[in-house]
């Protein structure tokens, strides 16, 4: 279902509706809700649903990409390959030093 087909989204949604409400695929939705600790509620009969209000709050907590926006969190810049290599070498040396001690 799309927003056009369901303009008044229910207060509680099973996974099939919840991930569509947020606009993400199922796996990405589950990963995001786990990372931000947004849990479904148990309504009995082995059925779990997500609260629309908590999904709305999750959306508001997500950081913006553009750090120039007011109140937006800056997204981390990827490490340069040289920095990644240096960090890996340091970890290797650190582990190697612990083994010989």
Does residue 73 sit within a domain?
no
The number of residues making up the chain comes to: 101
Does residue 90 sit within a domain?
no
- Domain holding 58, by residue range, is 1-64
Q: Are the beta carbons of 50 and 12 closer than 8 angstroms?
A: yes
Domain count, the chain: 1
Does residue 43 sit within a domain?
yes
Does residue 24 sit within a domain?
yes
Does residue 101 sit within a domain?
no
pLDDT in tens, 44-60: 988 999 999 999 999 99
Band of the pLDDT at 69, cuts 50, 70, 90?
Answer: low
Does residue 75 sit within a domain?
no
pLDDT in tens, 7-36: 689 999 999 999 999 999 999 999 999 999
The CATH number of residue 14's host domain is 1.10.1660
Question: Which of 6-10, 34-38, 66-70 reaches the highest mean pLDDT?
Answer: 34-38
Does residue 35 sit within a domain?
yes
**Tally of CB atoms within 10 A around 55:** 19
Supply the mean pLDDT for the chain. 81
Does residue 89 sit within a domain?
no
DSSP of 28-51, one letter per residue? HHHHHHHHTT---EE-STT-EEEE
- Residue that wins the pLDDT comparison between 53 and 5: 53
């Amino acid at each position: 279902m799309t927003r056009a087909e369901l303009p008044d989204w229910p207060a509680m949604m099973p996974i099939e509706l919840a991930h569509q409400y947020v606009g993400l695929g199922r796996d990405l939705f589950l990963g995001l809700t786990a990372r931000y600790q947004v849990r479904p509620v148990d309504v009995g009969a082995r059925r779990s649903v997500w609260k629309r209000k908590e999904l709305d709050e999750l959306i508001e907590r997500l950081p913006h990409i553009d750090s120039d926006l007011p109140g937006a969190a800056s997204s981390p810049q990827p490490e340069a390959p040289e920095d990644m290599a240096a960090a890996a070498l340091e970890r290797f040396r650190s582990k190697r030093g612990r083994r010989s001690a």
